[in-house]
C-alpha cells in the first residue's frame, strides 16, 4: 500500500515546517500563549519521550537515530505488504513512519529534537505532568499512529470474537 506514503510525507513536511518556524520566532524557554491551556514553548530535547536519557552524554543521539531508521524500515516493509483493505493499519503505519523520520531529521541536523507544544491540563492534580511535557507534530503523529494501530489490531481480532476452544472440546 505504497499510496499511503503521501501521509508520511505530509507529516514530515508539517513537522519540519512547524519546527523551523518555531526556531525562527522563539528562543529557548520563551512562551507564547495560544489559549489558557496551550502554549508555544521552544524546548530542545536531547532524549526521547519525556526527555528520557536526555543527560546521557551524547550517545543517545545516535542510538535514537539508528532506532528510528530501523523501526521506520520495518514499518515501511509492513506498510507496502499490507492488503488492499487495511486502510486503518496503513494510515497508522504512515503516521508513525512520518513522525519517526521527522524527529530523526532533528537528531541528525541539530543533535536534539525540537519540541514546542505545551499543554496545561486544568483538572490534572499531579504537578509532575502539568504542564504536559512539550511535544511536536512528529510526536503527535507517532502517538495517533500507535493508537490507530492498536485499534486496527483490536478490530481485526474482533471485540466480540469468540475465544478459542480448548483442544478436545
Cross-strand bridge partners of residue 119: 38
Catalytic residue (choose from 15, 33, 106, 139): 139
- 47 Cβ contact partners less than 8 Å away, ≥ 6 residues apart: 53, 54, 55, 56, 60, 64
> Helix 87-110 and helix 137-157: axis angle, to 10°?
150
Query: Any catalytic annotation for residue 157?
Result: no
Query: Any catalytic annotation for residue 115?
Result: yes
Distance from C-alpha of 123 to C-alpha of 88, rounded to nearest angstrom: 32
Q: How many CA atoms lie within 13 A of 150 on its CB side?
A: 6
In what order do the strands lie in the sheet containing 31-33? 31-33, 38-45, 113-119
Catalytic residue (choose from 15, 33, 115, 157): 115
The grid coordinates of residue 169 equal 472440546
Question: Which residues are tagged catalytic?
Answer: 115, 139
Amino acid at each position: 500500500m505504497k499510496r499511503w506514503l503521501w501521509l508520511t510525507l505530509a507529516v514530515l513536511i508539517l513537522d519540519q515546517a512547524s519546527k523551523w518556524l518555531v526556531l525562527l520566532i522563539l528562543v529557548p524557554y520563551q512562551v507564547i500563549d495560544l489559549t489558557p491551556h496551550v502554549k508555544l514553548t521552544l524546548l530542545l530535547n536531547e532524549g526521547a519521550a519525556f526527555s528520557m536519557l536526555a543527560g546521557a552524554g551524547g550517545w543517545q543521539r545516535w542510538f535514537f537515530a539508528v532506532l528510528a531508521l530501523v523501526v521506520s524500515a520495518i514499518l515501511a516493509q509492513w506498510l507496502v505488504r499490507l492488503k488492499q483493505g487495511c486502510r486503518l493499519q496503513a494510515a497508522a503505519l504512515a503516521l508513525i513512519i512520518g513522525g519517526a523520520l521527522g524527529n530523526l531529521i532533528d537528531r541528525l541536523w541539530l543533535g536534539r529534537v525540537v519540541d514546542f507544544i505545551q499543554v496545561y491540563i486544568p483538572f490534572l492534580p499531579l504537578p509532575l505532568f502539568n504542564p504536559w511535557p512539550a511535544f511536536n507534530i512528529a510526536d503527535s503523529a507517532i502517538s495517533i499512529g500507535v493508537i490507530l494501530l492498536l485499534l486496527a489490531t483490536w478490530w481485526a481480532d474482533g471485540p466480540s470474537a469468540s475465544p478459542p476452544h480448548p483442544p478436545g472440546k
